[in-house]
Structure 1
């Protein structure tokens, strides 16, 4: 039977093929190829298939990707449904032969699609499709940006818009001539750009939009407005200047679309143009001399153009002349004189310095500095046809000055000592700085201000500030003055303590020497803990037998208040000056409280006063003894009758004589002792001029 033989032969071939696939599978090759066009055009909302032909291996895995992102996977001939991306389930279908179908395809599914075949042990196969989705083009309109086309702008853009549609190609025309990209035209997506439009770009523009399923054209007439162009001003009669009483006219014209309007402006006053830009000036005065400005305005584009003309009529310069002097290389003096404005400009000169040099409006003269110019007043003469005027300038060398300093701490924790040296001088003095004998320049440690009057010294260590004297020299071409400052470490020159009437609050004040480098102060106390405002102990704890810091003050502080103190207890306070981490000598110790004894100066005063008091008491005792002794002597004297006149004299003297003579004063003469004999006198008679003799009666 022939058919049995044929069947046996087919079985042999099948077994050979099966054997070949089993033992030589690596030599098989899968093939996937497009079954149609690789670029597929379609309308949005229609059905379309990306058809493929698969061969080379049974039941491969088919994977479709859009822009390398998987959208669907299936094993051919599998009983399981294809695995479609969730956002594509309503649109995509994988056919039994591996093709990809789109149902009512939306616009956003356009793009590049790649299909890949994979099977274990075989080389992967793939092919790519491009799906273009279009809409029919409908209702195209053209618009321009800006709305009004102006000559001279950067660009004019024509944009098209449409009701719907996908454009594959756009072609632009100007007055029927197709436009290409060049230096003047630039075709962009959905627009035509005209670079630097000009008046020759006025005309009709057309755009043609096409795709495989439709095409549409749109037109727009564009007018490029221009001007005003450069104005042309003509003056009649043409003269270099005019004299008061003359008459003249000024005309101003310029091209533009639309024709520009003209206005004249003089000193803020505007004159309209009833006669096509002509301004007539009759019987002019000096106040009408100056700049006349022609202003042309394009009312549509709002472009404005101005041009000015100067009408020369003699007038006096403004204000008064101004004089000044500058230093040139710290060797020469530059005298300056200016008198601006006026027509013509004033002629300026310094006759006291030169008889040959002069200038107009703004004049300078440089001379070599000399001693005879110091404190000399120089006059600038200003000569104008209408008026002569002058101004004076006096030069002087730097005056004596005292350097000033202050101390701060910068953000890096460095001590910053700032020294100021300013001296009055004309011209202004330039300051140079020295540390010892070496010149100071700006760097890491030293910084000199732009006007050279200030030197800043930065360092962490206070000892580095105290090694040198700092010298500043203020110099101008006429001389110099030098100031010197020796910095000293942190110190306090004076301090005081002022309690309130209740003894519960004290104010501690102190002074710092002017050259002392101080960045802060520690306020220290010895005694019981101070109280807070509520009467409780403060947070400052420590032994009452030693000093402890209770406050810290910045370097600018000169006083502090301390509260609340117990008036029944004794406290002692002092101030420690600091230069960053370096402490200076403490201030005088100030105490307050009932147990506070005499201060050191008071004890020293008492110690010095005790010997003086003893000496005073001895002198007072000796004087008292002498007075008693003299009184006893007088009680033993022989008395003689005296006249009533003498008695009155003695009585009156006794009335005015104090009972106890003040130390150091001489007593009045004792007239009774004058009657004693020589033997009765214990001392020599004082020099005395007796009164005139008086006749008296003697009683026996």
Structure 2
């Protein structure tokens, strides 16, 4: 219905147009903005137009010469859009063309053409340019390797997205224009060409790119490769010759880009330890004398050059002089000094003995005496390059203590290895005696004679024998008697850990004790179970000791785990030699403080009666002392009157039940200076009667 009305309206307008040709005038189309439009890809824009002179003209938009959308203004019929443009183009009610997220391929020339029957046709042209922001812009040089005096090299830029509207090139911040540099530069869209490159063309090249929406500046460092030039060799320090042990450097340099790679060759082999063309020769030797070749190579272009130098090295004896002293038939001493090699050979001598000198090796034999024991003997070594010396001291055997190591062989026998070793120069020879008789069995004595191995199944048999070892060299000897001891422990300690669940036991063994193993014994609760953490009271728990861990004879410590921190344990170590048990150590306790022991309780019980008896004796003595003191005070120094005695007697016989709290006390005649009678003699000082004590026996 709407479409029918629109057609009727169009027909009516045409009829009115013919009937009144001057009413609307000529159809005119114009732009509502610029005809040259730049936009960013993905943006929305509108090519806005307006028309006048005719209503509802037919509108056609062209891209180039291709119509892409047609419509009649005011028509209810949707615009007819070319299929490939339907997702992007929209036609506005006034005939303007809108773009939705315009892609890159939609740039170009656009034309709008409006037609009205009877009123003519008019059109307007637009130019649309679609740009992108520059993304991933790079600049590269071709070829990758640019050599001096080659034909040319070229710099090119590229980008993942975007189009540069303008490019500017510069070299080391100086603008490059077409034809500069003696016509060696050539500019093209997207590239710069440099002909006949030289080494001074190395530097930083810069290209600046821009469009209406984006700009970027890129730098590229270009290196023009050349060389190596003529090599230059320097030796430091400069000397006519060098002696073994001297250090020197050989330096080989040449100009080039990149810096030429330097290799030093000697005897047909490439030498290591080269840094920046410098060969470090540290402590040179005679075999390093000869011709050295320096080879320089451009590792990129492959160009090479060589130069040689001759190095002269004179000999010196290697190392230092070595002194020694040996025994000759265990009666005399042979001092020796050696420093071999060198040109010329070193001259050696023992000045202490006044003998002559010798080349490279000298020996002096002297009779052993006490004067040589501990004497420092010096060997002088003379060489044109260096003088040196060495010293040696002959010593008689020093004090030593034998030691015993116990093992069990495959036959189940106890093997007690007695070792006697004394510091001596020259080394002391060790001889063995058993019960005063020399031991000559080679199976019992070790190859170096320092150990004697005794075997038996019964440890008591081993304890019956007495052994003697003697260490002797030409300057003297020392002997030690060895009596093997039964299994024993000399020291035992206990170290609890912080949390109370672990304890470490340590012990020591006398040097001559025979021990093949230890039994770690414990009394107290069973160890905490590793599964549930509870203390289980197994059989054997309590005060009785039981073996919880065996240890080999070489062990000197043991760790006990899974102890309950609130329980009390006692530990001891029992030494054994196979089935023979020694004395266990004193038991050491760990755990919270316990009650009184049995001996302590017995002591307290015995002390109570004694304490009571002592207290009774003290009380009796105190009572006797008080009674004696009061009796002494009652003695009269002056004769008293009978009246006074009467009074005293009367007071003394007064019953206790009449002495109430309100009774008056006797007057103090001493204070009042009054006499009770007319006696011519002053009465004695009044002494009150002693208090009555009542003792209660419980």
Could you say which structure has the larger radius of gyration? 2
TM score, norm. by length of structure 1: 0.41
TM score, norm. by length of structure 2: 0.41
